[in-house]
Structure 1
Amino acid sequence: MDVRDRVRGCLLGGAIGDALGAPVEFHSLRDIRRDHGPAGLTGYVPTWRGTSGLVTDDTQMTLFTVEGLLRAAHGNRSPDDAAGGAPGGSPDGDVLRCVREAYLRWLDTQDHHEPPPADRPHRTGRLREEGWLYSRRAPGTTCLSGLHRPFPGPSPLGEPGPVNPGSKGCGTVMRSAPFGLARRAPREAFELAAACAQITHGHPTGYLAAGAFAAIIAYLMAGEALEPAVHGALGLLAGYPSHEETTAALRAALAAAAAGPHSPERVETLGGAWVAEEALAIGVYCALAEPSVERALLLSVNHSGDSDSTGSVCGNLLGTMHGADALPEAWLTPLEGRRTIERLAAELS
């Protein structure tokens, strides 16, 4: 499978999982089954404005992560105005700055109804001009508050970060797949994702889980199967202080996938996914437990927790493993922002 198909699959798969889970975020499993039948969700259902296939802040922030990485690769210029080149060509300090500026452009989409005047250095970029992104989709409060604070730079990995040092919400993990697409060396992907997660979340578990997720994606990009990729990420985690919660969550996901039978009830033994390590564990478990892409995505959203984030993580994993052609066309066709997602995937490849 070529790199372009894996990158495209990762970004589209994450958006599909996000759109599947969005209507039932905050709903209990009992309520999901009451409203949608004994099998729970079996496909898209209407959400905001009565429309199905709409994404949330998970996909929005993932796309702005991609744009930040692309800007860093092109010397902080739009790819439209620069020669080609693989993301990651700039020093990591420049990448951190470009990613944070991209998140500030995402923040504009949450605070305004249309693109505000380009009166600040960060307010330039093609993505911020796309009107469909100017819609609040239950953004994480820590992401919002973190971006309103100065960011002096990341702390050494394993120590509390400078912004929201007590928060380990899943807003770190759900946006971090692109680091594994841009940095093909798993350790580099891990460390860059963890550093950029500190832009908003300073709890070591929150940002180390983001690093582990990016490393898993990098292993998958190299052709590894998912279980060895998870073991590779566990090996990296062991080298950093404060890794224990993330390590325990990933080990629990591996054990659950090996145990069977696979069910929403077993998903819920891994937590509610409101925190980073649980969202990562549930996404990994569902991608491991079900050989069918469609069934794995449905398993990842039918539970009493942060269904859009677990759907997004699972979709990123499945899309990277199997490529875009394995994603159900019935879910691709109505997917919000598909053209933008495919454009950014092509630029990142």
Structure 2
Amino acid sequence: MAPENPHTTIPSTPAPSPLAPSDHPLEDRVTAALVGAAVGDALGGPVEGYSPDQILERHAGRVHGVVGPWNGDAWRTARPIAPYHKGDGHVTDDTLMTHALIRVYAKVRDHLDAYAIADHLVPDLMTTPRWIPELEAEALPLHRVFLAEKWLVTRIHYAHADPREAGVGNIVNCGAAMYMAPVGLVNAANPAAAYREALEIAGAHQWSYGREAAAVFAAAVAAACAPDATPGTVVAACLALAKDGTRAAIEKVCEEASRHRDFESALAPLRAAVAPYDTVGPDYRAPSLGARRPSRLHAIEELPVALGMMLVSGGDFRQAVLGSVNYGRDCDSIATMAGAIAGALGSPPPRDWAKTVAEASRLDLWAPAAELTAVTREIHERDLRRHRAHEAAFAALGGPRCSD
């Protein structure tokens, strides 16, 4: 599908380093996307909230793999409002929420809507203790997730809001977008369907450009699953679907990204390109007065930058994720998105990184992928039956035009 703006130029980019030939390409893509998202999350966590210059100074160079907490052994007390062990290969709430959404798919075994979030995701967050790597303990996921995700419980469980509208009033951020990769994978190679389903799901959690970003990210993952996909075709699919400030931000960031072939040179220019659309402002830890408020003119920062890093890297997982990590700011979510898209394109995370993150986080990163692959096949078969039933009914109505 071509972008709506005929003047938009999508850079020609090479296909990413492919997965080894396999008899199970769908499973390979799903696994690479989900494990890749978790790896990106874990690499970005310890430097989240800082600038590229601060990261450079703290680590005496760029981050090139798993690193320890920013404040070392003082991680428990250095930031009392967020006493989390970010670093040493620990995944964050991005991965916890992604796995929670997969559990919803495993229960429903069909496409999801806002009511599925209310009926299954919210109780999961509230009632079932799970291992939380950053807390180094079993706890309810609700105790770890950010305020924008706690909103799900507040609005749906306590306020009894209509799930389709529960996201209205939340702070506008990437909270819904960060865990929408499973929606793109369930709708593999069908970005328009992924966009619609994610838009419906995210209504329970977000609104305005936060909801839009969730839908476009799901579309990006779905587009990346196409057998002939490249970073350029993924961006084209996003531009064809995205609306308002989200579309404008993606277009401007990706135009800038097309001028770079290494993430070091792209760090400052990508930030400059997205800045007019970002409401948080220059100091990530001291948001501006207009931060995270609804608007048709603005966009979350994370998705455009993740797509930009995909273009800069040519779809290579390592470079896309490292560029996202060293960008700083909300880099765990940026790297989560870049890792998912790169994996779906067929560029898997390095095995040593995946092994380190899985062991450090004490999580099986591969089991959720196997579960989602099975569910995806079931949903596709159900979609075919539904389509054929509709086709037959439409034919019985005399709907098809007779050919000469």
Place the TM-score, normalised by the shorter chain, in its bin. 0.7 to 0.9
Q: Which of 234, 238, 262 is equivalent to 2:239? A: 234
Deviation of 1:105 after TM superposition, in Å, equals 4.1
Specify the alignment match of 1:284 in structure 2. Answer: 307
Q: Which of 164, 167, 170 is equivalent to 1:163? A: 167
Indicate how the Cα distance of structure 1 residues 50 and 284 shifts in structure 2: closer, same or farther if over 3 A, else same: closer
Deviation of 1:5 after TM superposition, in Å, equals 0.5
Indicate how the Cα distance of structure 1 residues 9 and 100 shifts in structure 2: closer, same or farther if over 3 A, else same: farther
State the Cα deviation string for residues 252-289 of structure 1 (Å, max 9, x = none).
22202212264321232224796663211011111110
Structure 2 residue identity aligned to 1:199: A
Q: In 2, distance between residues paired with 1:140 and 1:266?
A: 29
* Structure 1 stretch displaced more, 225-234 or 335-344: 335-344
Deviation of 1:316 after TM superposition, in Å, equals 0.6
Unaligned runs of 5+ in 1: 74-86, 116-130, 155-160, 238-242
Q: Which of 55, 58, 62 is equivalent to 1:32? A: 55
Indicate the SS of the match to 1:199. Answer: coil
Q: In 1, distance between residues paired with 2:210 and 2:171?
A: 7
Indicate how the Cα distance of structure 1 residues 286 and 51 shifts in structure 2: closer, same or farther if over 3 A, else same: closer
Q: In 1, distance between residues paired with 2:142 and 2:90?
A: 12
State the Cα deviation string for residues 21-78 of structure 1 (Å, max 9, x = none).
100111222221111023x2121112355861100000100111111122111xxxxx
Q: Which of 264, 267, 282 is equivalent to 1:264? A: 267
Q: In 2, distance between residues paired with 1:137 and 1:309?
A: 19
Indicate how the Cα distance of structure 1 residues 133 and 194 shifts in structure 2: closer, same or farther if over 3 A, else same: farther
Question: Kindly, what percent of the aligned residue pairs are identical?
Answer: 26
Specify the alignment match of 1:332 in structure 2. Answer: 354
Q: Superposition pairs for residues 180-329 of structure 1, below 5 Å?
A: 180-184=184-188, 185-203=190-208, 205-223=209-227, 224-237=229-242, 243-260=243-260, 262-269=265-272, 270-271=274-275, 277-291=300-314, 292-323=316-347, 326-329=348-351
Q: In 2, distance between residues paired with 1:50 and 1:228?
A: 34
Deviation of 1:302 after TM superposition, in Å, equals 1.0
Alpha carbon RMSD of aligned pairs, Å?
A: 2.7
Could you state the TM-score of these two structures normalised by the residue count of structure 1?
0.77
Specify the alignment match of 1:20 in structure 2. Answer: 43
Deviation of 1:97 after TM superposition, in Å, equals 2.6
Deviation of 1:13 after TM superposition, in Å, equals 0.6
State the Cα deviation string for residues 108-156 of structure 1 (Å, max 9, x = none).
37xx8x46xxxxxxxxxxxxxxx757568963211112321124142xx
Deviation of 1:299 after TM superposition, in Å, equals 0.7
Q: In 1, distance between residues paired with 2:139 and 2:337?
A: 20
Specify the alignment match of 1:157 in structure 2. Answer: none
Q: In 2, distance between residues paired with 1:293 and 1:286?
A: 10
Q: Does 1:8 align with 2:18?
A: no
Q: Could you tell me whether the CA contact under 8 Å between 2:45 and 2:87 is conserved in 1?
A: no
Q: Could you tell me whether the CA contact under 8 Å between 2:325 and 2:332 is conserved in 1?
A: yes
Deviation of 1:236 after TM superposition, in Å, equals 2.3
Specify the alignment match of 1:41 in structure 2. Answer: 63
Deviation of 1:293 after TM superposition, in Å, equals 2.2
Structure 2 residue identity aligned to 1:139: V
Indicate the SS of the match to 1:53. Answer: coil
Q: Could you tell me whether the CA contact under 8 Å between 2:41 and 2:332 is conserved in 1?
A: yes
Unaligned runs of 5+ in 2: 1-18, 20-24, 70-83, 131-136, 281-291, 293-298, 374-404
Q: In 2, distance between residues paired with 1:133 and 1:348?
A: 24
Q: In 1, distance between residues paired with 2:54 and 2:279?
A: 18
Q: In 2, distance between residues paired with 1:316 and 1:285?
A: 14
Structure 1 residue identity aligned to 2:270: V
Specify the alignment match of 2:122 in structure 1. Answer: 104
Indicate the SS of the match to 2:327. Answer: coil
Q: In 2, distance between residues paired with 1:137 and 1:53?
A: 20
Indicate the SS of the match to 1:341. Answer: coil
Q: Could you tell me whether the CA contact under 8 Å between 2:34 and 2:340 is conserved in 1?
A: yes
Indicate how the Cα distance of structure 1 residues 303 and 106 shifts in structure 2: closer, same or farther if over 3 A, else same: farther
Specify the alignment match of 1:53 in structure 2. Answer: 89
Structure 2 residue identity aligned to 1:30: D
Q: Could you tell me whether the CA contact under 8 Å between 1:201 and 1:207 is conserved in 2?
A: yes
Q: Could you tell me whether the CA contact under 8 Å between 2:302 and 2:334 is conserved in 1?
A: yes
Q: In 2, distance between residues paired with 1:189 and 1:60?
A: 21
Q: Could you tell me whether the CA contact under 8 Å between 2:257 and 2:266 is conserved in 1?
A: no
Q: Which of 152, 156, 179 is equivalent to 2:162? A: 152
Indicate the SS of the match to 2:357. Answer: coil
Indicate the SS of the match to 1:340. Answer: coil
Q: Which of 146, 157, 174 is equivalent to 1:140? A: 146
Indicate how the Cα distance of structure 1 residues 295 and 132 shifts in structure 2: closer, same or farther if over 3 A, else same: farther
Specify the alignment match of 2:284 in structure 1. Answer: none
Specify the alignment match of 2:380 in structure 1. Answer: none
State the Cα deviation string for residues 86-105 of structure 1 (Å, max 9, x = none).
x43xxx5xx43333344324
Deviation of 1:188 after TM superposition, in Å, equals 1.8
